[in-house]
Structure formats: C-alpha cells, structure tokens
Structure 1
Amino acid sequence: MLNKIIFKKGKGILKWTHLSVLVFFFLSTEICLASDSPVETLSLGDAIEQALQSNPNISSMEARYRALTYLPEQAGALPDPMLMLNAMNVPTDTFNTNQEAMTQMQVGISQALPFPGKRSLRKKIKHYEAEAAYYSVEELRKKIVNDVKQSWLDLFFLDKAISVTQNNQDLMRQLIETARKKYEVGKGLQQDVLLAQLELSRLLEHGIMLQNMRKHQQIKLNILMDNPVDTIVVLDEDLPELQVSSGQESTIQQNALETRSSLAEKKEQFRASEASLALAKKGYYPDFKVSVLYGKRRDTPLGAKRTDFMSVMLNASVPLYAGSKQANAIKQKQHELEKNRLTLKSEQNKVHMEVAMALADLTKAQEQFQLLDAGILPQARQTVASMMSAYQVSKVDFLNLVRSQISLFNYELQYWQAKIDIHKSEANITQAIGKEY
C-alpha cells in the first residue's frame, strides 16, 4: 500500500485550495501540540522487546504450551486402582452373615494394566504434541517480531514521506511567490500563479492522506505492543543497522530448512502421528486387570471358627471386534500420518518460496536504491535547480518547472521507499530462515 502513494498530477479545482490549507493547518497544529508533550522516541529494538513481553497472542500460546507439558506424564501413568467392598453369598431369607459358610465380607483392590508398550506410546504422543506447541510459540514470536519490524519501518517511511511532502509544500509556496512577482511586473502569466496554487493544494491533500496513513500505522504498532491505540509513537530519526544476508541462496535455503520453527512444529506433529499409528496397531493386544480380594467370614452360630478367604483374579480384554474397530483405527491413523507428511512437505515448499521471494525483493530494492541514490535523485535535483535559474530569466516555461519539481518529489519518495524496502526484505528473510532478530 505504501508504495502506491507517489504523487501524481491530476485534475484539481482551485476553489479547494484555501480549504485544503485550513484542514492541513489544523492537522499540523494538532500534531505539533501533541508533540509538545514529552514523548520518548521508540527504537525498533525497544518496540520488538515490548511486543515480545506484552503481546497477548504470544502469552496465550505460551500458556497453551505450558498446559500441554503436563500431559505426557498423565498419559503414561497407570489408571487409578479400584477399591472393592463386596458382600458375598448373603442369604436373602434372614440376611444373617453367620448362617451360611460361604457368606463373606470382601475388601479388595484392582489395577488395570495396559498391554506393555501402550503407556510409553501414549506418553510419546503427548510429548510430541507439546513439542509441536513449543515450536508454534517460537514461530509466532518470530512472526510478531517481523510484524513489528514491518509496522515500525512503514511508520518510519511515512514520517519521511510527510517530511518530504512538507518540504515540497514550502518549495511550491516559493514558486507561487516567484510566479506572482513575475506576473506583477508583467513578465509572467496569471495561469502560472493559478497552476502553482493548484499543485500546492494537491500537495496539501497528499499530506492529509499521509497523516491519516500514519495514524493507522501507529494504531497497528500500538496493538502489536499491547499499548492503548491512542498512544503517540515517535520513532528514532535513524534507521537501525542493517543486517545484510550473506551466502548463496542455496545455503540460505538449507539454513531455513534446519532452523525454521514452523518446519520443526510440523515434524513433531508427524512424529506424533507415527506414535499414534504404532499405538493403534497395539490395539490388537489385550489389556489386563488384576484384582486381589480378602473375604472375611463370621464364626458359626455354635461358635466354631471359620477360615477367611483370599481371591486373585486376572481379566484380559478380547479384541473380538477387531475387524470393525482396531482395523479401522489403524487405517484412520495411516491417513492421518500421510496427511501430516504432506503438510510437512507443503510447509517446506512454503519456506522455500518465502526465502526466494524475500531474496528477490531484496535484490530489487538494493538495485532500485542504488539507481536512485547515485543517479536519478542527484540528476533530478540538478534539473530543478537549473530550471529554477532558467525560469528567473524566462528561458523555461513555468509548467515544465512545476513538472520537474513534481518529478523530484516522486523520486524522493521512491528513494525512501527503496531504502525501507531493503530493511523490510531483510526482515522477511530473517523470519523465513527462522531467526528472531
């Protein structure tokens, strides 16, 4: 969006000139009054640190990860044992517990025992899921860092664009004064004065648009840092030091495959699917339950001693419906495994694309900046200065002078846009290869 704000000549209506001046005056006054209050400048590093500490999305994902870290031990634990209290063989005619020899009061305990290997697989699944959640937090952190960088740099560009626009407004006012003086002494045309006033109105309108865009970008940056949306953001005047990417594209691509958090997340999800499939295959094997009971018998009505009983029981599940249950569970997990394998492959392709596109954008921005900095911009400034001198002696018509000034204005905006694009491309490369800073 920002690269589309280059000023263009177009139709305008002169009667809006004074209204535009008044509107821009009040906007500028508001900004100046706001800037009178002491406001600390915000560096890019400070913005990143604040976002990492305060952004609620990061805090939410971290809380989710911490919750998942408690699942592996739960999944690998044995089921809770069962306490049993039984009244066995009580006669229903008298309910007398010493009438019959087989009557007994039992107390016992039972423990379910999954088939060996199932508990460890359940624990592995939850461990891999927790690891995937950890890498999702890391990926989000790096995304937030890049979002802050992009927003901060966009705001920096808008500050420069506003400054360039204001400088060009001052230059256009000088052209108006020059054209008016020439008209007053009969050496100029009234249409030159009107043309300059019209171009000034367009610049004022452009300034209003930039101020509005700056407010929107300021709101976005405040949200990323979890600040109130109306917090005034004043940036450092200088760009941070540029961390230039080095190495061949193939090397950078390989580094991205090794360090990108989103790939690590997908790998952990794939490992969880492998463990889930292995667990499904163990569904054919029985689970067990061991029970131990002690039966207390009362003495006979005549006082003869009766011996107590002890019972031990072993239960095993029988996969009687394996064809419709366990077999289908295995097929389900096989498809889930294939889905996660393809998701991992898709993420690898996405990372390759992001790295390649960011490197291409960086090359383009560097070449464009070099062309503007060393060629176009100095030439445009020389052209305007030369045409201004020529206009003073009536050797250049006013329309060409205005056109050259507008061209210079556009080139100055393109200069800052290209410079910012270099930093933004580097930020995209940093995120694409899985680095945070």
Structure 2
Amino acid sequence: MPPRKFLIRGIAILLVVISGTTSAEENTVLTLEAALAQAQQNNPSLARIKSAAQALAAIPSQVGSLPDPIIGFNVMSLPVDHFDTRKEPMAQIGFGISQAIPFPGKLALREQAAAHEAQAAAYSEAEWRLSLLSDVKTVWWQLFYLDRLLEITDNNLMLLQQLVDVAGTKYEVGDGLQQDVLLAQLELSKLLDRKIKINGLRGNAAASLNALLDRPSNDAVQLPTKMPLQLPDISDDQVLYQLAETHRPLLASEREKINAAKSKLDLAKKEILPDFNVSVAYGARSNMPDGSRRSDLLSLGISINVPIFYRQKQAQGVSQSTSELMREQYALRDQWNDIRKQISQTSNDYRRAKEQVLLYETGIIPQAQQTVASMLAGYQVNKVDFLNLIRSQITVYDYEAQYWQSFIEANQALAQLVAATGQAGIYE
C-alpha cells in the first residue's frame, strides 16, 4: 500500500477510535436529570418508606371488618356410665356459631382512623421523595462547583507557571531578583496544595452522591462541564408560603394525622357503648330406646359487655385521645412555623447569592483581570513589584472561586425552595 494511502487510512482509524471514546465518555456523563431519576428508582430509603406506606394502606379494610365468626361443636349431657344417648333424654350432639358485633359506628371509626393514617404515610413518602431530590441536587451542585474549582485552579497553575518563567527570564538576564522566582514557585506550590485538597473534597462528595443513587461509593462520577448560567427570579415570600400551604406533603401528612386523631377521639367516646355477641346453637338428640323420635333443640343467645370500670378505662381513653389530638394540632403549627422560616431564609440566601453572581460576573472579576494584565505589563518594564503582581493573580483566582461558590449556593437554594414549597412553581 502506498505510504500516502496508509497514512490516510491510519488517520481515519484514529478518528473513529477518538469518536468512539468521546461517545462513550458522553454516555457516562451524569446529568442532574439522570441523577434525580436514578435516585427515585434506586434509593433504598425511599423504597423503605414506600413499602411502609403500602403496608399501612392495607390496614383500613382489616380494622373495618367484623371479627371472624366462631363455630363450635359439643356433646351435652352424655351419660358417662354407658354413653348411650338414647337412654338420656337431654343427651345431644350440638354445633353452633357465634358472631361478635361492635356497637354501630365503631367499625366505621376504626376504618376511618386507619385510612387517615395510611394517607398520612402516603404524604410522608412524597415528603421523603422531595427531601431526597433536594439532597441529590445539593450534592450534585457541590460536585459541579468542585469541578469548576479544579478547572480554574488548573488555569491559574498555568498562569503562575508563566509568571515563574517571566521572573526566571528576567533573573537570568540580570533584570530581576531571585526572590521573585522563589516567591512565584512558592505560590505555585500552594496552589498545588489547594488542588490536592479540592480533589479530596470531590472524592467525598462523589461518594455521597453514589450513596444517594445506591451505587458503589467508589464509582467514578463525571458531570457535564457546562450548565446554563442564568438564574431566574423567584416569587416573593407570601406567594411561596401559599404554595407550601397547598402543596407541601409534610403539612398534608400532619393534617391527616389530625383527622386520624379526631376519629380515634370519636371512637374513644363510643367505647362506653356495649358490643354484642350473637350466638346460634343446634342440638341433635338420638331417638328413644323404643324408636320414638326426640325433637332436636335450637338455642339462641345474645350477650353484651357492661362497662362497669368506666372511670378507670373508657374515661381515661377519652382523655388520652384528647391529648393525642392536641399533640397533632401543635405539631402542625410547629411544622408550619418551621416551613415559613425555611422559605424566608432560603429565599434570602438565593437572592443574596444571585446578586453576588451578577456582581462578580459583571464587575469584580473583569476588573481584577484587567488589573493583572496591567500589572504584568508594568512588571515587564520594572514599574510594578513582583509581589503585588502575584497577589493580584491570586486575588483573581479567589474571586473566580467565590463566583462559582455563589452560583452553586443559588442553585442549591433553589433546590431547597422546591422542597420547602412542595412543587417547582416558585418562579415569577
């Protein structure tokens, strides 16, 4: 094969390999949407809460049903000296059935209370889901921040290396100081130390995210390198309060617990009313010795319980149920106060972070970069001290890190606001 054709084919194969590698890498990128989907599908804690809610959902029909009837079999008045049922007129072989019947309304109240508790558990599952998604978003954005921090650290390492080269060149020609070279190398080493620490933090954050997604903790986590940088405006606090009151599962769960406590209180008040037990028995008697037929016997019965220990039992049950209802009502008030506090604090954090992002993006960072460029030009003509040049470059690095930190804090606050209000319609 001619060398030219061999070269062309080799380049083509290399491009295919590179393309395949890039495609594979793109397939391993964990977007925020993919992370949220994996968490909802795989997280064991969420599955546990869901199973508990399903178990409670099976209770209402059980407690709302009558007790199982009791079937009995017996032999009555059997003479023990000869065991001949024909010689004893009262001897009979009987069977019967009895059914316990609670006072009307008790079963319905038990089923009602259990249904409210099951619905509260379903809302708790939805609340847990919101909390899980908020945690995934928080850790995912923390990872994204650490990736950007590593990126700007690498960029600043390159810039500091250039300053080391500039200082070294000036020192070699006798136009600079050795201390400038040593200072630049020291700052370079300090930046390398920062990179080591950032890598350690990233490893910990990746392990946390893997745990939320039910993946091995040491699985590699690769995030997208770019995300939309636009931060939306959010509604005012009063609107956010209304959203939470309507959509927050935690509040709905507390309301269902209150309803369950009310049903239990009504049931406790009914416990003074008697329950019934109805029974039917049939006794078959043998014929007389001369062959004459004896009539079989039918027995009917009804019994009720008598609440003679009302003060020690039923009255105390009413008192207990009343206190439990008050406890649930106070719990709802506490939750509502906490939610409003969380919304106000988180919305303040978001607005503050958004203002900082805008300030860093349009003012501080461009000005700091211009300052570095001007000082570098002045240093090359011996008009600027090298220490000030180094400090200005480190300042740019710090501002860039603070920009990304503010951007991430804004997105994490948005995630917390969605969880606090119970739904995503928090934007103006």
Q: Give the TM-score, by structure 1 length.
A: 0.89
- 1:11 corresponds in structure 2 to none
Offset, 1:36: 12
SS of corresponding position for 1:234: coil
2:420 equivalent to 1:400: no
Tell me the equivalent position of 1:46.
34
* 2: CA distance, partners of 1:245 / 1:113: 61
For each residue in 1:120-147, what CA deviation from the matched residue of structure 2 results, as whole angstroms up to 9, or x when unmatched?
1111111111111111110111111111
Q: 1:270 to 1:167 in 2, by over 3 A?
A: same
Return the match for 1:273 from 241, 261, 267: 261
For the residue of structure 2 that corresponds to 1:323, the secondary structure is coil
- The aligned counterpart of 1:60 is 48
Is 1:328 the counterpart of 2:316 in the alignment? yes
Q: Are residues 244 and 91 of structure 1, via their aligned partners in 2, closer, same or farther at CA, if it must alter by over 3 Å? A: farther
Write the deviation string for residues 225-251 of structure 1: whole angstroms up to 9, x where unpaired: 111222211111222576735432111
How far did 1:96 drift? 2.5
Q: Take 2:119 and 2:137, find their aligned partners in 1: how far apart are those partners?
A: 27
1:258-269 maps to which residues of 2 (within 5 A)? 258-269=246-257
| Residue identity opposite 1:306 in structure 2 | R
Q: What does the per-residue CA deviation read over 1:359-389, in whole Å, with 9 as the maximum and x for residues that have no partner?
A: 0001110111111111111110011000000
Counterpart among 146, 152, 155 of residue 164 in structure 1: 152
Between the aligned partners of 1:329 and 1:240, the Cα distance in structure 2 is 59
Q: Report the secondary structure of 2:294's partner residue.
A: coil
* d(CA) in 2 for partners of 1:153, 1:143: 15
1:144 matched to 2:132:
yes
Match of 2:372 in 1: 384
Q: Secondary structure at the match of 1:135?
A: helix
Deviates more, 1:329-338 or 1:96-105: 96-105
Query: Aligned partners of 1:294, 1:367: CA distance in 2, in Å?
Result: 87
Q: Confirm whether residue 74 of structure 1 aligns to residue 62 of structure 2.
A: yes
Contact 1:249 1:356 in 2 (8 A): yes
The question of whether the paired residues in 1 share the 8 Å contact of 2:120 and 2:253 is answered with yes
**3-state SS in 1 of match to 2:74:** strand
Give 1:73-222 correspondences, 5 Å limit: 73-222=61-210
Task: Identify the residue that residue 18 of structure 1 maps to in structure 2.
Answer: none
Q: Distance in 2 between matches of 1:53 and 1:436?
A: 20
Separation in 1, partners of 2:80, 2:424: 77
Three-state SS of the structure 2 residue aligned to 1:90 is: coil
Quick one: distance in 2 between partners of 1:60 and 1:153?
A: 26
Give the 3-state SS of the residue equivalent to 1:201 in structure 2.
helix
1:309: Cα distance to partner?
Answer: 0.7
**What secondary structure, in the 3-state scheme, does the structure 1 residue paired with 2:78 have?**
coil
Within-5 A mapping of 1:238-277: 238-240=226-228, 244=232, 246-277=234-265
SS in 2 for 1:42: coil
> How many pairs were matched up?
404
Paired with 2:308 and 2:256, the residues of 1 have a C-alpha distance of 34
Query: What residue is the counterpart of 1:432 in the other structure?
Result: 420
- CA contact under 8 A between 1:244 and 1:426: conserved in structure 2? no
Going from structure 1 to structure 2, the CA distance change for 1:331 and 1:210 (only over 3 Å counts) comes to same
Which letter does structure 2 place at the counterpart of 1:116? P
Q: Deviations over 1:142-165 (max 9, x none)?
A: 111111111110000000000001
User: How far 1:90 sits from its partner (Å)?
Assistant: 2.1
Q: Which residue among 290, 294, 297 is the counterpart of 2:278?
A: 290
Q: Please state how far the C-alpha of 1:65 moved relative to its aligned partner.
A: 1.3
Q: Which residue of 1 aligns with 2:408?
A: 420
CA contact (8 A) 1:44 1:240 kept: no
> Which residue is equivalent to 1:356?
344
- RMSD, aligned α-carbons: 1.7
AA of the residue aligned to 1:178: V
CA distance in 2 between partners of 1:120 and 1:233 (Å):
53
Residues 290 and 266 of structure 1, relative CA distance in 2, 3 Å threshold: same
Matches of 1:56 and 1:116, distance apart in 2: 43
Deviation at 1:436, TM superposition (A): 6.3
SS of residue paired to 2:271? helix
- 5+ residue gaps, structure 2: 1-20
Alpha-carbon distance in structure 2 between the residues aligned to 1:256 and 1:36: 42
d(CA) in 2 for partners of 1:277 and 1:227? Answer: 46
In 2, the alpha carbon distance for the partners of 1:231 and 1:279 equals 54
Give the structure 2 partner of residue 373 of structure 1: 361
Aligned match of 2:12: none
